[in-house]
Structure 1
Amino acid sequence: MILFGGLFAVTVLMAVILDAIFGEPDWLWRRLPHPVVLFGKAISVLEKWLNRPAVQSALTGRLAGTLSVAILLLFGAAGGYFLQLWLMSFGFVGWLIVALLASSLIAQRSLYEHVQHVAEPLARFDLEGGRQAVSMIVGRDTRKLDEAGVARAAIESLAENYSDGIVAPLFWLVFLGLPGIICYKIVNTADSMIGHRNERYLYFGWAAARLDDLLNLVPARLTMILLLFSPVSLYAPDGHARQSWRSFLADARRHRSPNAGWPEGAMARRLNIALSGPRYYEGELVDEPFVNDGGKRALGANDIQMALRLYLRACQIQFLVVSVLAAVALI
């Protein structure tokens, strides 16, 4: 929108609307490769070619990982730029195709559906069904989770993925168009695949992880604002959601991630619940501190539903903001 003028504002709005209505239709992605799947395949190819953890030094591993990310971004930026210019030369039909491509990289509807699928079995007292559903959206070991652990994992995933699956892609789409959202999703996908601090990816995934942190720096804080101030009536019996900014900032900075603590902290404060905390990864207990430590910990399906209410209202406010930006750009 910023670089491509007022007419591109219409494309951004169409992308948001298309994703909200259709989400990620299974019938389409069963027949065509999803863009994120293509990004993942490209990352895997480069990782196999360039990552040699057994023989590489820390410096060599980081350089190889940086080169991989740079190659991906070069092709993503150039491809997105020229594809967008070519498509938009066809007028409205071209704008619609660009909007469809961009909408496939935003996850408003699919995120709601995935989290709703966790709440449904918990509401039927089906703990195993809840564990199975939440295992589709989190990386932690879900086999030992109790009802509160399943609900907490789902709400954390909702908060984090609202930031890096919706607000961040839309942010880069607004500022840099199709090449911006493509490059963001490339980095985000690379971080999820190789940005782990294990023996294989400790050095090779360094560049992807650091760049993902950088690209999410502003969107995470925008997500925090949307969640904290979206007008929706929520049950907060002890008033913890109205605690001081100093307490909130301490929570956000205590999180293991430089960005995830902001949307998680906002969600925790609005719902008066405790998020994060100890969890299992690959059978090993990781003792993480709680976000909003004084909040409610006995969580269930009702808490997930309240989180989804807040998420929907935040998405509505986000749409209004984009609409205002579009109107200003068209003047």
Structure 2
Amino acid sequence: MLLFAPFIVCVFALVLDNLIGEPRRLHPVVGFGRLVTALEKKLNSSPGTPLRAVSAGVLAVFLATVPMLLLAVWVSVRLEGLILLLVQTVALWLAISLRGLAEHGLAVATPLHQGNLETAREQVSRIVSRKACELDGHGVAAAATESVLENGADAVFASLFWFLIAGIPGVVMHRMVNTLDAMWGYRNPRFLYFGRAAARLDDLMGWVPARLTALTYTLLGDRKLAWRCWRKQAPQWDSPNAGPVMAAGAGALNVRLGGPSPYPSGVKQRPTLGGTQDASSTSIEAAVKLVRHGVWLWLAVVWAVTTLGFVVVHL
């Protein structure tokens, strides 16, 4: 039974996510976000040298993550049996967002398919930082498709990976670091140096899950194109983890992503990823399906590895 516990936790956490989704109130990530916002205002309030800003950022990451990490370790050590199983299930459920990812993606795909560009723009503005009012239909679809593929790595597969590797401490630490990067990892005057520690730590924790996600997309889509895009296009992307994920995902779907995109600061020239087909409502739906099928593949692998371990132990 102990050998199958991680598989059971993953299944039940995904069931909870499918039935309930993200909690509308009192979500721990929201509370954590408020806490670190106050922390950042305290430690990053006055201009200083780059070294001072980096040091303040390191201290902020330490203060934001270590207390919760120690609590997660204490819970994992002190609890046992069914209680531990239940706590692990809730922790993983709160970290993953497969249903939310699908809902946000389809909220763009549906009006786009119906020809309602304004509603599609409004919906995509909720999940990307692009200047949605300047996007045409293909641009809206590309932005939503990219968001689904990238968040599949951050909000689904990375959480599963870190739970399987390190239990509650692993999944809690990853979710905290990923949140810090989302809030502080900007390359602007305020966060260029202060947010560097959070960004680098997020890159480190996301390195393996991102490549496993890229491999998952490759296996479940157009394998040859996905592998070629991953190998040739990913190194051109400015993010070491988003590059492989989006390049492999775009290739797997044979859809063209990347390219010039309007942001509030101006048009950002980005490398082109993927195949030759323009993004559309269909590509958004296909990206959602790709992530869902990837979850089934991961569960199958975890089941197979667990079963093999069970057989070896009882020989």
Judge same fold: TM > 0.5, yes or no: yes
Q: How well do the aligned residues superpose, as a CA RMSD in angstroms?
A: 2.1
Distance of 2:170 and 2:179 partners within structure 1: 14
Instruction: Give how far 1:309 is off.
Output: 2.4
In structure 2, the partner of 1:11 is: 9
Residue pairs, 1:309-320, within 5 angstroms: 309-320=289-300
In structure 2, the partner of 1:165 is: 155
In structure 2, the partner of 1:295 is: 276
CA gap of 1:247–1:302, structure 2 versus 1, over 3 A, is closer
Residue pairs, 1:1-331, within 5 angstroms: 7-24=5-22, 28-30=23-25, 33-54=26-47, 56-86=48-78, 88-89=79-80, 91-230=81-220, 242-243=224-225, 245=227, 247-292=229-274, 294-297=275-278, 299-328=279-308, 331=313
Give the percent of matched residue pairs that are identical in Structure 1 and Structure 2.
35
**What's the CA shift string for 1:26-64, capped at 9, x where partnerless?**
xx433xx2111122122112211111452x111111011
CA gap of 1:296–1:244, structure 2 versus 1, over 3 A, is closer
**What's the CA shift string for 1:64-97, capped at 9, x where partnerless?**
10111122221121011122344x33x3244223
**What's the CA shift string for 1:73-132, capped at 9, x where partnerless?**
21121011122344x33x324422330222111011111111011111011100011111
SS in 1 for 2:233: helix
- Indicate the larger mover: 172-181 or 278-287: 278-287
**What's the CA shift string for 1:196-227, capped at 9, x where partnerless?**
01011111000001111111100110001111
Instruction: Give how far 1:6 is off.
Output: 5.6
SS in 2 for 1:285: strand
Cα pair 1:156 1:264 within 8 Å, conserved: yes
Instruction: Give how far 1:168 is off.
Output: 0.8
Distance of 2:33 and 2:302 partners within structure 1: 29
Cα pair 2:88 2:167 within 8 Å, conserved: no
Distance of 1:8 and 1:309 partners within structure 2: 24
CA gap of 1:99–1:21, structure 2 versus 1, over 3 A, is same
Distance of 1:318 and 1:9 partners within structure 2: 10
Cα pair 2:91 2:172 within 8 Å, conserved: no
SS in 1 for 2:130: coil
Distance of 2:121 and 2:109 partners within structure 1: 10
Cα pair 2:218 2:226 within 8 Å, conserved: no
Instruction: Give how far 1:323 is off.
Output: 2.4
Distance of 2:204 and 2:7 partners within structure 1: 25
Distance of 2:95 and 2:308 partners within structure 1: 25
Distance of 2:105 and 2:40 partners within structure 1: 31
SS in 1 for 2:292: helix
- The code of the aligned residue for 2:205 comes to L
CA gap of 1:244–1:127, structure 2 versus 1, over 3 A, is closer
Alignment gaps of 5+ in structure 2: none
The structure that is helix-richer by fraction is: 2
Distance of 2:5 and 2:277 partners within structure 1: 47
Cα pair 1:16 1:319 within 8 Å, conserved: no
